[in-house]
Amino acid sequence: MKSGLEDVVAAETVLSDVDGKNGRLIVRGVSLDDLVTRSRYEDVLELLFDGFFPEDGVMQAALGATRVEVFKHVALADPALVVMPPVDGMRAMLARLGDGDDRATALRLVAAPAVFTVALLRLKDGLPPMAPDAALGHAADTLRMLTGQMPTREQIAGLDRYLVTVADHGLNASTFAARVVASTQAGLTSSVLAALSALKGPLHGGAPGPVLDMLDAAGAPANAAAWLDGALARGERLMGFGHRVYRVRDPRADALKGAVRMMAASGAIDPARLALAEAVEAAALDLLKHRKPDRPLDTNVEFYTALLLEALGFPRQAFTGVFAMGRVGGWIAHAREQALDGRLIRPMSVYVGPRVEVAA
Ligand code: COA
């Protein structure tokens, strides 16, 4: 068997292609580079859902109305949920949504991570949650509900680019979890809950918060190399580097670096923070090349995610929930694709435990 199921093919999909050798990501035939320059999150949802649900109205309006619908659950958030890490609180609230396989269930599951995460963040700060505005795009309304103010054009574009960039990515751990549950015909909510549970681990979607911890610990560009060298000597992994599939630079890192630079040009990112991140990235790549010469380790999606989400005003403990706001589109499309295939996923294991002979 292959440890970590490396290189094992476990699904056929029309949704996305992760080309690890050439550092390319294709979503339904369109390369990520093209997608990020011309699409908002709603466009990518239409692309991902095409053929999996009957068309029913314009995506932006339908999703806006669904944000308003799921907001009623926010009133049920009790203090125990509010003190949990935001991704755990959001998952508990998501579990209240009924299971189903239709477009209405899918839209509720897309709307809810954004509505619930920002409401929980405001409740944690002792602020009243903001009701959704159905007329706005998903990225704009999410930022407005977070801060209570209408975001700038650059901020909306920054969040849209992030959501588009992370919307789907082949058979990553959380998407595989979604497909396993979908294969039992349990329903979309169950699939999304399983996927979210897989996403929150630090080896998958939990890395960007620790990326900021790393920047803080490095402190200044001149200290970056020494701090990173110490971390590697202690046997630690550098968060935001390395990938199971990419053997070259993760194309999503460049898509997000572009968004970070765009926001820096509009004054929304402190130039000193960007300079520190670039120094840490350069030092990390240099050290990893020397310490792990046999394993190409390059920047992954999480590194610039950290900078972008921080600049958009999300606290670091909420980053995994924001990742889920984007990836949920991919989870749902994969879950539908798997459920329509109709075959239960049920691999084999090799028993390596003892065999006790009972005397006759
Ligand atoms: N920092 C330092 N060393 C790393 C590393 C990192 N970020 N990522 C991998 N390595 C090293 C491992 O220690 C291992 O070295 P060894 O063979 O000397 O023990 C070697 O590279 C192979 O690692 P492996 O665990 O087999 O890679 P993987 O394909 O299973 O793991 C990740 C992929 C993403 C889990 C891994 O690169 C990682 O932990 N990265 C940091 C967390 C992160 O950024 N996650 C977000 C992913 S998008």
pLDDT tens sequence across 286-344? 999 999 999 989 999 999 999 999 999 999 999 999 999 999 999 999 999 999 998 99
Model pLDDT, residue 231: 95
State in Å: Cα 288 to ligand 1 middle. 10
Average pLDDT over residues 88-100: 97
Element housing 26 (H / E): strand 24-27
Ligand 1 pocket, Cβ-based, cut-off 6 angstroms: 4, 203, 207, 237-244, 292, 295, 297, 300-302
> Taking 90 as the threshold, does the pLDDT of residue 360 lie above it?
no
Instruction: Quote the DSSP letter at residue 237.
Output: P
CB atoms within 10 A of CB 42: 23
Distance CA 125, CA 127 (A): 5
Of 241, 246, 256, 298, the one to substitute when testing ligand 1's pocket (max ligand atoms within 8 A of C-beta) is 241
Model pLDDT, residue 219: 93
Least confident interval from 126-130, 157-161, 208-212: 208-212
Q: What is the mean pLDDT of the chain?
A: 95
Confidence of residue 96 (pLDDT cuts 50, 70, 90): very high
Give the rounded percent of residues in the chain with a pLDDT score beyond 70: 100
Q: Of 42, 154, 281, 302, which one is the catalytic site residue? A: 302
Give the ligand 1 atom nearest the CA of 242. Answer: 37
Q: Is 310 a catalytic residue?
A: no
DSSP symbols for 109-168: HHHHHHHHHHHHHHHHTT-PPPPP-TTS-HHHHHHHHHHSSPPPHHHHHHHHHHHHHHS-
Model pLDDT, residue 180: 98
Contact, 142 vs 40, CB < 8 A? no
Q: Is 243 a catalytic residue?
A: yes
Model pLDDT, residue 338: 98
Give the ligand 1 atom nearest the CA of 250. Answer: 48
Residue closest by Cα to atom 20 of ligand 1: 295
Average pLDDT over residues 261-285: 92
State in Å: Cα 170 to ligand 1 middle. 19
Buried b (16+ CB within 10 A) or exposed e, 169-202: bbbbbbbbbbbbbbbeebbbbbbbbbbbebbbee
Buried b (16+ CB within 10 A) or exposed e, 248-266: ebbbbbbbbbbbbebbbee
Residue closest by Cα to atom 30 of ligand 1: 244
Residue closest by Cα to atom 2 of ligand 1: 237
State in Å: Cα 287 to ligand 1 middle. 14
Least confident interval from 189-198, 228-237, 261-270: 261-270
State in Å: Cα 5 to ligand 1 middle. 15
Q: Which tens digits make up the pLDDT trace of 158-207?
A: 999 999 999 999 999 999 999 999 999 999 999 999 999 999 998 888 87
DSSP symbols for 287-351: HHHHH-TTS---B-HHHHHHHHHHHTT--GGGHHHHHHHHHHHHHHHHHHHHHHH-PPP------
Q: Of 169, 243, 281, 334, which one is the catalytic site residue? A: 243
State in Å: Cα 289 to ligand 1 middle. 13
Phi and psi torsions of 133, nearest 5°: -110, 105
Of 166, 215, 243, 298, the one to substitute when testing ligand 1's pocket (max ligand atoms within 8 A of C-beta) is 243
> Taking 90 as the threshold, does the pLDDT of residue 156 lie above it?
yes
State in Å: Cα 237 to ligand 1 middle. 7
Spatial CA neighbour of 24 closest among 304, 259, 255: 255
Residue closest by Cα to atom 34 of ligand 1: 243
Model pLDDT, residue 298: 93
